A and B are shown apart, each in its own frame.
Chain A
């Protein structure tokens, strides 16, 4: 065999290749969309995380302020006489 090539049953191979193209179109369509779903999830997670982070930050500030107020109230109610006029 001097040369390579020479598909033995060219017509059949041609038909199979054609069918293969079509099948793979379906497969790649599905797989791409699955990847898109995955991408969406990743991105969704990221966004949610940063939204939670900003919420957390606000809560932190509130918490600290509340703590302060609590101390002040506790302090004040421990000495009721000061507020009796």
Chain B
């Protein structure tokens, strides 16, 4: 070989195999699943090489092992047996003639199933007889062959266990006799035509007896065993072995422990039912020890959903074994279902079952053990890695590190075994005690599983499962890393024992005892490795032998090779021989010291080594052991209950693994969330069991179907949880801090942090051998949820009026913030993209958007007709007189579509409610921010078109009004006083027949005014935004605000600061020799120039209001000739009556009168926008002066003032003249103030002198005007208080 293996393997470690994914699942990949060392991979055929005359024993041992294997298969056939009868079809009456055919078909179907049962019957008969023969052969007092060895004893126990389980299962399965009787019926129908049916009938009868007799297998075994009456000895040995192993509980992993527990009661029954002295057992094992074991382990798991109870078994068997019925002490034990509830639950003084079986009572300790173990294991691992990376390390240190690792592995196995056994036992306990307070409608399975686990218990179970799985995967991962260290340690242990301990024993205690010392030296022969030091160099040998010579012990050198199963087998056998002297009848226990020739000290050493040897095999079978110990697949299986409930399958709510997932998702304790994938490992395990252990395809299919379903639900629910969490997090961050500070219970708005990010990193979830990219699934769904949410918000807005825009913005902000938070862990689509998508605003050539068109249609249909303006507060409010517009009802959604939780929703809603009653500056801000520079122009355009449409619409109506005006109207005479004037005005305004027209014109003018005022608000908001932008960009662009809104460059010529900064940086970087990529700096400086250009171009944006006014003016130009007659003389024509201002004047006085009459009782009908509309048109038509001179109401006001003045002069009859007109006069005064305000505003923003200059460019952009004349502040003319 060109490349040494070591080096090649070491080279692999140079690959970077780092992985972002956290370990939150159990081990999924098993490197080795072949037969492990515990059941010698070569069936002990190498035992013969040691020449211990064990060939008979080995043969028997292998026979038993293969029987056990077959038996397990039989048991899985029996366990997964499902009744066929239910599936058999019945014939309708019309087809009675083919009944015979149906019988034949049915018979053929059932025959296949029954042949399996027949096979089981045959097998059990042969297995029983073989077991019995085996026992008899090896338990003769006059022994002719060596054995039984310890492995042999184990094989017997295992076969025994299989037989007992099979029997138990046969008793429990009710459908089998059922199917059988159907089979028999069809057989009698079918066999009528057959020739020779006697033998078949006989066989059938046999089978029927077998199937219908309880404990048939055991009874048969009993008969077989006691055919020759000398098996008590070996039975006693088995009992002693079982009891001692159970009591010591060191070398047993839980599967073996359960085997012993299951077998023990049956063994006891068999021994005591023998013909001979039944009490001889108790001479070797005190009955109290047995009772203790039976009492402590009241229920023993047998099959996933089937348990055994020693007490119940013994009670039942006592009717079959009359001799046993005298064992009253064993028979008075209470079976678990008979336990009184007090003792079962809360008996505080004594040992209680509930405490023992329920995981919830141990979870604290488990947690502590888990944490402690994980830390120590990791540190041992680190030490080992350190050791491997240093060459030529110290021998002692290396031995210590490896020994430590070995100890950790042993501890890990024991922990795993204990924990998994806890789960098995809790399950068995729960199955034995169904939930009491269940309603009768619950099925049996629901009673024992679904309603039998409290929330606490489920949580504890999840935690324990994740402890098991995480420790399991941790140990599994380092399999090949620790393997040689483990072999080396085991090798050292064995060599230390055979080379040192045995040597000293041989020198001292056994010197005189020839027999025993021969056995000891055999042990040395068959396992000592004397030459392990050969590959060490001489010098090392010398140096390390220094210490050795003093302690006079043999020094041996590490070799990373473990003993074979056969060696362990022989060593155990020989130790047992030394201790027992090959005498089965020897009283006392296995290592009991009574009557032994071996001194206590040595006995202790032998015993320790004996049990250690047993454990070595588990360690050699590293990955198989881990797999067995972490296998939790049994939690899914429910074949027994399926049969008794007569259903095909239970709904997934009854499925324990799903209950655990559900519990994690529901649980408010977010700490469990990291374990949410662990229950899916249960499915993995059970699928594995279904395929490999039970070998049933249909079970796998059922599991797969359930997993598919569960995983879908799981992902959906998980995404919802994630979304809700991030949403509420964002919402709580966006809450006003002063509100939170003032709030009394601000805690309810705080969000409990959840560790979701590790779930978001899972790209490989192992599920039934598939790899699932959970992260991409989540991303996909979250993208969808975001879109749905945006959609929902728009839907919601569309069902409300324009005032809801503030709420919409707020909710979108929350959504956007949660998107930001989530994007840290997950690559979600960009928010603006999603928003554009949902706004239907993706196309480059469309400028409207869903929102803009909604705002526009809302303005058109609701806002403009139904809202009235209040000039003082700068707000529009809904007029009380209008009919409400019909809207679809607001769609409802989950709280997560608003702000996450209920509390946050109500908090945010109370903010939104503040803005829901009016439309003002905040709403305008929201509109500007939501529409942005893209759709806003579209909206402005739409509104301007609306103005021009309105004007076109108004034109014929105004013509109509003009027609009914008199030819000429003079100034109002003073002599009539106010009353006279009013009367005169009414005579002039002969509009009685045109009331509707009048109202319509007023509405039209109001809408125009509303739009213009709306533009004014928009202008204010845009100004503010622009100023903000300017402040931010100006320093970079090198601009200074000058006087009169001019913008001056801060320095003459040259580049702006941003450009020069980047240029100089680029120059400096390029000149630096070590610069990696000079081109990128050049690009950056180019980009700075581009930015400079772009931002400079954006600076001088025009005023929207001015644009709107210019537009209106242009729109009015068409009607100028109709609405304002140019005076022929060139002077102001006083009597002219057809001008627009006359019409408006008439409308205004009528409107004022109306409002004066109803003023006190109800608010204004049209609001202030009429004045805005009317005055703007007048102003733009150039009729402002005419209006101010000849307006009816103004004239009346003047007359009233004169009258009042004359009244003051004459000092009498005060209030006489204006009596009755106070309300009208007051309204007129108000109107005049408002009109003046509007006019001054218009003069400021649209000076008529420059009307031509303030034109619109070809492209549609307004020309910006910098200089203003008469810039009277609009607010000076606001009405004063009390005026």
> CA–CA, A73 to B844, complex, Å?
8
Q: How far is the CA of A16 from the CA of B845 in the complex (A)?
A: 91
Q: Which of A5, A18, A28, A56 contacts B577 (CB 8 A)?
A: A5
Contact status A18-B531, CB under 8 Å: yes
Question: Does B648 lie at the interface of the complex (its beta carbon under 8 Å from any beta carbon of A)?
Answer: no
* A62-73 interface bits toward B, Cβ cutoff 8 Å, 1 = contact, 0 = none: 001100100111
B829 touches A64 (CB 8 A): yes
Query: Is the CB–CB distance between A47 and B51 below 8 Å?
Result: no
CA distance A51 to B1221 in the complex (A): 87
Contacts of B771 in A (CB 8 A): 49
Fill in one digit per residue for B50-94: 1 if any A CB lies within 8 Å of its CB, else 0. 111100000000000000000000000000000000000000000
A4 and B561 in contact, given A21-B532, A54-B763 (Cβ under 8 angstroms): no
Other-chain contact of A32, B480, B531, B564, B843 (Cβ < 8 Å): B480
Residues of A within 8 A of B844 (CB): 72-73, 75-76
User: Do A50 and B480 form a contact, CB below 8 Å, given A8-B51, A38-B31?
Assistant: no
B820 is an interface residue with CB less than 8 A from chain A: no
**Per-residue B-contact encoding for A25-68, CB less than 8 Å = 1, 0 else:** 10011101101111110111011011001101110110011001
Please give, as numbers and ranges, the residues of chain A lying within 8 Å of B532 by CB-CB distance.
21
- Enumerate chain B residues within 8 angstroms of A7, measured Cβ to Cβ: 50-52, 522, 525-526
Look across to chain A and name the residue whose beta carbon is closest to the beta carbon of B143. A1
A18 nearest CB neighbor, chain B only: B531
Q: Is the interface of B mostly helix, strand, loop or mixed?
A: loop
9-residue interface stretch from B17-25, B289-297, B1125-1133? B17-25
Most chain B C-beta atoms within 10 Å of own C-beta, residue among A3, A5, A29, A33: A5
Q: Which of A13, A53, A54, A65 has the most CB of B within 10 A?
A: A53
Residues of B within 8 A of A56 (CB): 773, 776
Is the pair B764, A49 in contact by a Cβ cutoff of 8 Å? Answer: yes
Residues of A within 8 A of B43 (CB): none
CA–CA, A40 to B9, complex, Å? 9
User: A82 contacts the other chain (Cβ, under 8 Å)?
Assistant: yes
Residue of A whose beta carbon sits closest to that of B562: A28
Select the stretch in B225-233, B513-521, B663-671 that faces chain A: B513-521
- In contact, B776 and A53 (Cβ under 8 angstroms): yes
How many angstroms from the CA of A57 to the CA of B782 in the assembled complex?
14
A50–chain B nearest beta-carbon distance, Å: 5
For residue A5, which residues in chain B have a CB less than 8 angstroms away from its CB? Answer: 52, 515, 518-519, 522, 574, 577
Q: Nearest A residue to B1259 by beta-carbon distance? A: A85
B515 & A25 in contact (Cβ 8 Å cutoff): no
Q: Judging by beta carbons under 8 Å apart, are A75 and B525 in contact?
A: no
Query: Which B residues are in CB contact (< 8 Å) with A6?
Result: 52-53, 518, 522
* Bound CA span A10–B526, Å: 9
Chain B residue nearest to A72 (CB atoms) is: B844
Q: Which residue of B lies closest to A51 (CB)?
A: B19
Which of these, A43, A61, A71, contacts B842 with CB under 8 Å? A71
Total count of chain A residues near the partner, CB < 8 A: 54
What 0/1 pattern do residues 800 to 831 of B give for CB contact below 8 A with A?
00000000000000000000000000010100
- CB contacts (< 8 Å) of B775 on chain A: these are 53, 57
Q: Given A53-B763, A76-B844, A68–B833 Cβ distance below 8 Å?
A: yes
The total of chain B residues at the interface (CB under 8 A) is 65
Contacts of B191 in A (CB 8 A): none
Q: Which of B12, B18, B483, B845 contacts A47 (CB 8 A)?
A: B18
Partner of B9, one of A3, A17, A37: A37
Q: Say yes or no: A21 contacts B561, CB within 8 Å.
A: yes
Bound together, the chains give a CA A16 to CA B566 distance in angstroms of: 14
Contact of A17 among B15, B53, B528 (CB under 8 A): B528
The answer to whether B31 and A44 have CB atoms under 8 Å apart is no
Contact A18:B529 (CB < 8 A) given known A6-B522, A54-B763, A57-B776: yes
A46 x B529 contact (CB < 8 A):
no
A2 CB–B CB distance under 8 Å: yes
B5 engages A29 (CB within 8 Å) = yes
Contact of B763 with A10 in the complex, beta carbons under 8 Å:
no
In the complex, what distance in Å separates the CA atom of A2 from the CA atom of B479?
A: 44
Instruction: State whether B522 touches A39 (Cβ < 8 A).
Output: no
Q: A13 and B49: CB pair below 8 A?
A: yes
Q: What residues of chain A lie closer than 8 Å to B9, measured between beta carbons?
A: 33, 36-37, 40
Q: Does residue B779 face the partner (Cβ distance < 8 Å to A)?
A: yes
Q: Is B1016 interfacial (CB-CB < 8 Å)?
A: no
Q: Is the CB of A39 within 8 A of B17?
A: no
- Asked whether, in the complex, the Cβ of B515 is within 8 Å of the Cβ of A21, the reply is no
Are B518 and A2 in contact, with the CB atoms below 8 A?
Answer: no
A25–B526 Cα gap in the complex (Å)?
Answer: 16
| Whole-angstrom distance between the Cβ of A48 and the nearest chain B Cβ | 9
The answer to whether residues A44 and B17 also contact, given A6-B518, A16-B49, A35-B483 and a CB cut-off of 8 A, is: yes
Give bound CA distance, A5 to B53, whole Å: 8
Contact B19 A28 (CB under 8 A): no
Using CB atoms, name the residue of chain B closest to A82: B845
Instruction: Say how far A36's CB is from chain B's closest CB, in angstroms.
Output: 5
Do A50 and B763 have beta carbons less than 8 Å apart? yes
Given contacts A29-B5, A50-B20, is CB(A17)–CB(B526) below 8 Å? yes
B1150 at the interface (CB under 8 A from A): no
Q: What's the minimum C-beta distance from B394 to chain A, rounded to whole angstroms?
A: 22
Q: B573 contacts which chain A residues (CB < 8 A)?
A: 4
Bound CA–CA A60/B778 (angstroms) = 14
CB <8 Å contact, B574 and A14: no
The distance in angstroms between the C-alpha atoms of A43 and B16, with both chains bound, is: 10
Q: How many Å lie between the Cα of A72 and that of B846 in the bound state? A: 10
Bound: A14/B842 CA distance, A: 86
Contact: A79 with B845, CB < 8 Å? yes
Contact A35 B764 (CB under 8 A): no
Distance in Å from the Cβ of B1268 to the closest Cβ of chain A? 32
Q: Across the interface, do A35 and B480 meet the contact criterion of CB distance under 8 Å?
A: yes
- The listed residue (B32, B480, B779) touching A36 by CB distance below 8 A is B480
Over the window 1004-1019 of chain B, the binary record of Cβ atoms lying under 8 Å from chain A Cβ atoms (1 yes, 0 no) is 0000000000000000
Cα distance, A33 to B845, chains bound together (Å): 66
Interface centre among A8, A14, A46, A56 (most CB of B within 10 A): A46
In the bound complex, residues from chain B placing their C-beta under 8 Å from that of A10 are 521-522, 525
Q: In the complex, which residues of chain A have a beta carbon less than 8 angstroms from the beta carbon of B17?
A: 40, 43-44, 46-47
Contacts of A76 in B (CB 8 A): 843-845
**Is B560 in the interface zone, CB < 8 Å from A?**
yes
In the complex, A1→B144 CA distance in Å?
Answer: 7
Q: Shortest Cβ distance from A13 into chain B, in angstroms?
A: 5
- Least CB separation from B518: chain A residue: A5
Query: A32 — which chain B residues lie within 8 A by C-beta?
Result: 480, 483-484, 560
User: Closest approach, in angstroms, between the C-beta of B344 and any C-beta of chain A?
Assistant: 47
Residues of chain B with a CB closer than 8 A to A2's CB = 515, 582
User: What mask results when residues 94 to 128 of chain B are scored 1 for a CB within 8 Å of chain A, else 0?
Assistant: 00000000000000000000000000000000000
* Interface 0/1 of B748-765, CB less than 8 Å to A: 000000000000000110
B1159 contacts A by Cβ under 8 Å? no
Q: Which B residues are CB-close (under 8 A) to A36?
A: 9, 12, 480
Q: Are B32 and A35 in contact (CB under 8 A)?
A: yes
Give B1-41 interface residues, CB cut-off 8 Å to A: 5-6, 9, 12, 15-21, 29, 31-32
Task: Name the A residues within 8 Å of B525 (CB-CB).
Answer: 7, 10, 13-14, 17
CA distance A37 to B11 in the complex (A): 11
Determine the distance from Cα of A80 to Cα of B21 in the docked complex, in whole angstroms: 49
**Chain A residues positioned under 8 Å from B52 (CB to CB):** 4-7
What are 29 A-B residue pairs whose CB atoms fall within 8 Å in the complex?
Answer: A1-B146, A2-B515, A3-B518, A3-B582, A4-B573, A5-B52, A5-B522, A6-B53, A13-B49, A17-B529, A21-B561, A28-B484, A32-B484, A33-B9, A35-B32, A35-B479, A36-B480, A37-B12, A39-B479, A39-B480, A40-B17, A46-B19, A47-B19, A49-B771, A56-B773, A72-B844, A75-B843, A75-B845, A76-B845
Q: Given contacts A5-B574, A28-B560, A71-B842, list 11 more A-B pairs with CB under 8 A.
A: A1-B144, A3-B515, A5-B515, A13-B51, A29-B560, A32-B484, A39-B480, A40-B9, A50-B21, A53-B763, A76-B844
Q: Report the 7 A-B pairs with minimum CB-CB distance, sorted nearest first.
A: A53-B763, A5-B519, A75-B843, A76-B844, A21-B529, A4-B577, A25-B561
